[in-house]
A and B are shown apart, each in its own frame.
Chain A
Amino acid sequence: MLLSIQNLTVRYGQETALSITEPLQVEEGDRIGVIGSNGAGKTTLIKSILGLTPYQGMIKTRLRPEEMAVHMQFNEYTDAMPVKYIMEAILGTRIAGNARLQELISYFEFEDCLRKKYTKLSGGQKQRFTIILVMMQNAELTFYDEVTSGLDFETRQKLVEKLTEWYRDKPASLVIVSHYYEELEMLADKLLILDKGKVIDYGRKEDLFRKYCGRAVIVTDNCERNRSFLEKYKKLASPAHLLAAACETQEQEEQVSRLLLQNNVNYKRSNSDIEMIYINARASRAGEEESK
């Protein structure tokens, strides 16, 4: 076990920003995606683990905070010099004499940016700069807090592909906070779902999908025609413009697919849709609270 959290509470004034009552563990090699709307407590959780914010409760780890690496949501550096010198100072090495660093710079296509000052870098270049520094830390546990926020689709996709490729077959444990579910599909194998400072659920993606969505889910546009086709099937909570049918068995899935194909209806089938997990986990928690 790399890290465990027990009875964690973080308060900002009178407001409870985070309250984790059930024990939560991070195992070595875990890739945990943290999801939740704004104010859910995602960044607060990272800050607590890193010792950046006061909390009550217990966070147990054999790692010291400085042995964990983190890409914060906002990363700023001095603008008094080109980023090359910042990089060399932070890493305590010269770029010219460090093959691993050169490899990373080349991997993230950052060579042409080294002579620029930080404020002159584009959003994507800024993110890549911090990612290179974070990766060079070679930490056992690395946090990425909304690493692609504010980037355009293409840059975001390219960056996540690079991250996925880099960490493939590496033993590092990752905690990735993101609002983009497709990124977590690529990077995470576990999910921590937070809502209003509380843990809704935590577990492997597949297990959570099965728990909240069933075997598979078929999603179509939410229109009168499609609603009539899927009338007799169990519906899942979904965004207002979509209609999601839960399929508990392969036969049921084939039946729904056939029906939609016969009627020339576009649909998406998934057995790992994180958005559906998130929406239905929240809906389930809301239902539980209402019944109480």
Chain B
Amino acid sequence: MRNRKRLITAQMLSFEFRNVIGNPYIHIFGVGMPVFMMILICRSVAAEMAESTLYASMATSVFLGMGAMIPMATVLMGYGISHAQELEKGIPQRMELFGIMPGVSMCNRILAEGIFMLLAFGIYFAAGYGVIGVEYPRISGLLIYIFCMVVFSAMMFCLAHGIASLIRRFGLTYCVTMILYFVFMILGGMMGISYDKMPGIMQLFARMLPVTYINRDFYTVWKGESYNFMPMIQSFLLLGAVTGILLFITVRRGERKLH
């Protein structure tokens, strides 16, 4: 078959993209919810605010923080449950028996997830600028935000793949990824309790998550102001190490062994 020799093919990419959009959860939690939450929070805060300059910075800060929900919902939850469901049905093994190696499926899936997230962020940005009036960034701020989102999404992919491959059951994977989704949102300060108001133990865990810095500090980066990136980088490195190890273990575990 021709696609054996090529990692990315139009047919495989189209297949994986249809797989991504065929999952209703990502439309609800990955597109609808971030837009809805962003507008809802900004509108409710705006009603209590008199000063328009403060509103703009608050709205931008909320916009940047809520953006992290997109990779968490589309990749962590969406890909996680979809992959677990496929594993439960034996679909990846069936694909492998047709000569579609797991690496090929994964590469096309990553690309398909990337395309979907690009579209989701497009809608999110359109809503942000069209409805709540997000402030325009400095080029450096925009580039760093994009870079952070790409890296964070990659980590969410590793985490989702690892969890789904370990559990291999739709229901339990759905439960675990949903819990993580809300834990990340709570610790990231997106659910009403800001980092400063969290108890000490919660702050300890919150400091380990990139989403905390994205939600709390990114306005400073967005506007090109001076910012100490070290804690944020450390949180990315920690999450990257954990998710990378998880992915490595599960990929090695799932390899077809020849004797």
- Residues of A that sit less than 8 Å from B by CB: 50-52, 54-55, 57-59, 65-67, 69-70, 72, 74-81, 85-86, 88-94, 133, 136-137
- With a cutoff of 8 Å between Cβ atoms, the chain A residues found around residue B257 in the complex are 51, 54
- Report the separation of the CA atoms of residues A74 and B93 in the bound assembly, to the nearest whole angstrom: 11
Kindly state whether residue B233 has any CB partner on chain A within 8 Å. Answer: no
Residue of A nearest to B97 (CB): A70
Q: Contact partner of B256 among A52, A88, A90, CB < 8 A?
A: A52
Pairs across A and B, CB under 8 Å, 17 listed: A51-B256, A54-B259, A55-B259, A66-B4, A66-B99, A75-B94, A77-B91, A77-B94, A85-B14, A86-B15, A89-B3, A89-B9, A89-B16, A90-B1, A90-B98, A92-B6, A137-B1
Known: A76-B89, A78-B19, A85-B15. A92 touches B9 (CB 8 A): yes
What's the Cα separation between A14 and B100 when bound, in Å?
33
- Give Cα A66–Cα B258 distance, bound, in whole angstroms: 11
Residues of B within 8 A of A90 (CB): 1, 3, 95, 98, 100
- Identify the B interface with A (CB < 8 A): 1-4, 6, 9, 11-12, 14-16, 18-19, 21-23, 86, 89-91, 93-101, 256-259
A-B contacts besides A76-B91, A85-B14, 18 pairs, CB < 8 Å: A51-B257, A51-B258, A52-B93, A54-B257, A54-B259, A66-B97, A66-B101, A75-B94, A77-B91, A77-B94, A80-B19, A85-B11, A91-B1, A91-B2, A92-B4, A93-B3, A136-B1, A137-B98
> Which chain A positions have C-beta within 8 A of B21?
80
A-B contact count (CB 8 A): 91
- Cβ-defined contact, A137 with B11, below 8 A: no
In the complex, what residue of chain B is closest to A64 when comparing beta carbons?
Answer: B258
**Chain B residues with Cβ under 8 A from A75's Cβ?**
94
Q: Which 4 pairs between the two chains have the least Cβ-Cβ distance?
A: A80-B22, A92-B3, A89-B15, A76-B89
Distance between A70 CB and nearest chain B CB, rounded to angstroms: 5
A51 to B11, CA, bound (A): 27
Which A residues are in CB contact (< 8 Å) with B93?
52
Q: Which residues of A contact B98 (CB under 8 A)?
A: 69, 90, 133, 137
Which residues on the A side are within 8 Å of B95 (C-beta)?
Answer: 90
| Bound form: Cα–Cα A74–B23 in Å | 23
**B15 pairs with A88, CB closer than 8 A:** yes
Residue of A at shortest CB range from B101?
A66
A121 to B142, CA, bound (A): 48
| Residues of the B chain whose Cβ atoms lie less than 8 Å from the Cβ of A70 | 97
Chain B residues near A94 (CB-CB < 8 A):
11
Q: Are B259 and A89 neighbours in the complex by a CB distance under 8 Å?
A: no
Determine the distance from Cα of A93 to Cα of B9 in the docked complex, in whole angstroms: 9
